[in-house]
Amino acid sequence: MIPSDQINNLMHFPEAKRKWQGVAEDLRRGRSVIWMFQDKFDMDLVCNMVIDECERYYGMSNKVISLEDTDLLPGTVIAQSCGKKTLPGKVEQAEELMDCEDLPDLIVITGLDKLSSNDLTLWAGFIRDWAQAAKTADAKGKLPKALLIPSRSTELLQKVQEDIFLTSHWFWGWTSGGELQLVARSISRERGLSYKESLWVETVFVELAGTDPMLLFWLLNQSEIGMPRMKIFSSLRQFAEKQGWEKSWVDKHKDALTSVSAGYYYNNGPVEAPPTELRSLWQAGLVDWHVEEGLAVHSAVLAVMGDEDKLDHRIWRGQARILFPILDSKRHEVCHYLQRGFKDWPAFCSKYNQSYHNSSFVEEKSVTPIAEFNEIVKFLKEQSQKFGRYRNLKRQINNLRKARNTLAHYVPLEWEHFSLIIDEMERMYEFIAV
């Protein structure tokens, strides 16, 4: 489970906040909203944020109505729940309720997705009438009262038609990899993880989690830092089992999932709602919208499907995103060190790199030639034959070169290699900082 303080923090990150504030803005304008959520998401948490936003910043009074088994018509349920006197046998019309002073500005209706199909049809008709009544109120110069209807079922959407005073929102793609990286970094500090352990969490666990904080916390709590990739994939399958994503069920949707994984859907975001044919898969949690990747299959589902190549690519992508800039900065640092310590460094660079010819760095002391790892290793090999103290530095740079080349060929690093290069970078810094 996700700690309540962490989920609250996530709700105030930009992606999630943009979504629930967008709902609040529509409600403020008198637009009723059907708000779609995944099956396992805590709707109450984010709905309470919208209610609080509407009350605190827009001054909207509100009432939450939780539907249970009832034979009452929709209008009667709303009227009685909001304290309006009703007459036996009288049908409470949406237009009359819209004008009623006893009703609050915002009415939140929960439990619609638990109703029978017949009862849901009655409510769909009432919601259509409510949207029409909102148009009438707006034409009279009045601000319409709004309905907020959180739901996990798309059946209601199929029975109504959106218009100017009735719209839908989808709480999908509500967090990004960058935001989960901040959460992971904070948790790593709280748990006292080392620098390289924290980097492993940020590059591997975060990238596999995608948009699912629950998976991130699962990996943090159930997986060992640095465990082999095959054990990580096993942990992903255990998560899928916990979510109820059995292989036989996943296999039934394999064609659609493979299409998403292969990039057949045009990922040019932001997209505010899942494609119609994938909405049931999104509701079950099998696919989601990634700010960085577009439409994507959940990593645990990929593990159930046996798509280890795709999982390897995600691990590689997370490692490359963070390690490439770090490795390159170390390359620059050692070149500056060699410029300070060896007067023949510029001439050596001219010999091995044509782009340095006819430049002014040989004469200009302030300009440092930046060489590739291969050239740096060659230079240090020559120097280590004269001065033994540079052998360790040569080994360190060579290991960084190998790691960079591995990543350049789209191959993820296992923990042993990952851990080694972080240690080598620290040892290299200790040497060149003297």
Q: What is the extent of the structural domain holding 285?
A: 177-306
Q: Rounded to an integer, what distance in angstroms lies between the CA atom of residue 20 and that of residue 26?
A: 10
Q: Are residues 295 and 389 in the same domain?
A: no
Asked whether the predicted pLDDT for residue 335 surpasses 90, the reply is yes
Nearest to 33 by CA among 129, 159, 150: 150
Q: Are residues 152 and 23 in the same domain?
A: yes
The whole-number pLDDT of residue 433 equals: 82
251 Cβ neighbours under 8 A, 6+ residues apart: none
Q: What is the mean pLDDT of residues 339-366?
A: 68
Q: What is the mean pLDDT of residues 198-217?
A: 95
Q: What value does the mean pLDDT of the chain take?
A: 91
pTM for this predicted structure: 0.90
pLDDT one-digit tens code per residue, 366-415: 578 899 999 999 999 999 888 888 999 999 999 999 999 999 999 999 99
Q: If pLDDT is split at 50, 70 and 90, which confidence band does 145 have? A: very high
Q: Are residues 264 and 281 in the same domain?
A: yes
Which three-class secondary structure state does DSSP give residue 205?
helix
Q: Rounded to an integer, what distance in angstroms lies between the CA atom of residue 312 and that of residue 113?
A: 38
Q: What is the mean pLDDT of residues 227-249?
A: 96
Asked whether the predicted pLDDT for residue 1 surpasses 60, the reply is no
Q: Are residues 264 and 358 in the same domain?
A: no
User: Treating both helix axes as pointing N-terminal to C-terminal, what angle do 345-352 and 308-341 enclose, rounded to 10 degrees?
Assistant: 130
Q: What is the mean pLDDT of residues 47-66?
A: 96
The whole-number pLDDT of residue 71 equals: 77
Q: Rounded to an integer, what distance in angstroms lies between the CA atom of residue 174 and that of residue 427?
A: 40
Q: Kindly state whether residue 315 falls inside one of the protein's structural domains.
A: no
Share of the chain above pLDDT 70, in %: 94
Domain end, chosen from 112, 139, 170, is at 170
Asked whether the predicted pLDDT for residue 269 surpasses 60, the reply is no
Q: What is the mean pLDDT of residues 15-28?
A: 96
Q: Are residues 192 and 285 in the same domain?
A: yes
Q: Kindly state whether residue 312 falls inside one of the protein's structural domains.
A: no
The whole-number pLDDT of residue 387 equals: 86
Domain end, chosen from 143, 170, 197, is at 170
Q: If pLDDT is split at 50, 70 and 90, which confidence band does 69 have? A: low
pLDDT one-digit tens code per residue, 413-424: 999 999 999 999
Q: Are residues 39 and 110 in the same domain?
A: yes
Burial grade of 2 (CB within 10 A; 0-12, 13-18, 19 or more)? middle
Q: How many domains does the chain have?
A: 3
Q: What is the mean pLDDT of residues 168-180?
A: 92
Domain end, chosen from 140, 170, 200, is at 170
Burial 89-128 (b: 16+ CB within 10 A, else e): eeebebeebbeeeebbbbbbbbebbebeeebbeebbebbb
